[in-house]
Amino acid sequence: MSVTSELRRTVADLHRELTKYELVIWTAGNVSARVPGQDLMVIKPSGVSYDDLGPDAMVVTDLHGKLVEGEYAPSSDTAAHAYVYRHMPEVNGVVHTHSPYATAWAARGEPIPCVLTMIADEFGGEIPVGPFALIGDDSIGKGIVETLRTSRSTAVLMRNHGPFTVGATPRAAVKSAVMLEDVARTVHFALQLGKAEPIEQEHVDRLYQRYQNVYGQ
Ligand SMILES: [Zn+2]
């Protein structure tokens, strides 16, 4: 099996996680993966139903969004994914959804404060808001990269739009999208009851270091 056909399967399987965790509706949302060692990525096609997103439906583009392999047009968010891969060499997976709780924070233009150990663990601090950007050029990609560079977070809430997440692997980017929606919901609930208590920076740092370096298998 070629590298891209294996990666098409991985990316197709990861799209199932978006529906499983109810992060997407209709044809919205997308996952992409960098093809290791090549200036290529695998991404979801545009406007294809989640039921039909098998490995063969995935498309391969270059890192400027030009179609290289595949029967469909690439996702309308391809330019944003490509920009991230061009400017963040450590990133090998990108995810975009309009998951409702995270997107509600994006609509308010408000960062999700670091008020849970899970947020410190996974995101290393508050989850930042990126600029308002229109689709069609590099503005979304630029907004994602510039915001993530100022933060340890793997997630950014693009203002009036929704979340983009990144990861060292495509699976890690999907995990970030799933965790993001979970904490966005929980912090929303907390704020319905009153104030949420921030975690001291020193503790945030310790939690983040431990989780990123020690936790897991
Ligand atoms: Zn979108």
**Which CATH number goes with the domain that contains 113?**
3.40.225.10
E strand intervals along 17-159: 30-34, 40-43, 59-62, 67-69, 93-96, 129-130, 155-158
Alpha helices in the chain (DSSP H): 3-20, 78-87, 100-108, 117-123, 139-149, 170-193, 201-213
Is 70 exceeded by the pLDDT of residue 153?
yes
* CA-to-CA separations, 73 to 3, 15, 27, 54, in angstroms, rounded: 21, 17, 14, 15
- Evaluate whether 42 touches 32 at the Cβ level (below 8 Å): yes
Q: Please give the residue range of the domain that contains residue 46.
A: 3-213
Is 70 exceeded by the pLDDT of residue 216?
no
From ligand 1's centre to the CA of 42, what distance in Å?
A: 18
- Number of structural domains (the chain) is 1
Amino acid at 46: S
From ligand 1's centre to the CA of 162, what distance in Å?
A: 6
Question: Which of the four pLDDT bands, split at 50, 70 and 90, describes residue 1?
Answer: low
Burial of 197: CB neighbours in 10 Å, binned 0-12, 13-18, 19+: exposed
Is 80 exceeded by the pLDDT of residue 90?
yes
Question: Which of the four pLDDT bands, split at 50, 70 and 90, describes residue 217?
Answer: low
CA–CA separation, 200 vs 207, rounded Å?
11
On average, the pLDDT of the chain sits at: 96
pLDDT at 134: 94
- Evaluate whether 52 touches 26 at the Cβ level (below 8 Å): no
pLDDT at 214: 77
Is 70 exceeded by the pLDDT of residue 85?
yes
pLDDT at 113: 98
From ligand 1's centre to the CA of 187, what distance in Å?
A: 22
CA–CA separation, 96 vs 93, rounded Å?
10
Phi, psi of 20 (to 5 degrees): -55, -40
pLDDT at 2: 77
Percent of the chain predicted with pLDDT > 90: 94
C-alpha dihedral, 38 to 9 to 180 to 147, nearest 10°: 20
pLDDT at 69: 95
Is 80 exceeded by the pLDDT of residue 60?
yes
Only one residue has tokens 């939690």, namely 207
Question: Which of the four pLDDT bands, split at 50, 70 and 90, describes residue 136?
Answer: confident
| Average pLDDT rounded to a whole number, residues 21-45 | 97
* CA-to-CA separations, 94 to 32, 77, 83, 201, 215, in angstroms, rounded: 5, 11, 11, 28, 23
List, by residue number, the catalytic residues.
Answer: 121, 215
From ligand 1's centre to the CA of 161, what distance in Å?
A: 6
Give the model confidence (pLDDT) of 165-214 as tens digits: 999 999 999 999 999 999 999 999 999 999 999 999 999 999 999 999 87
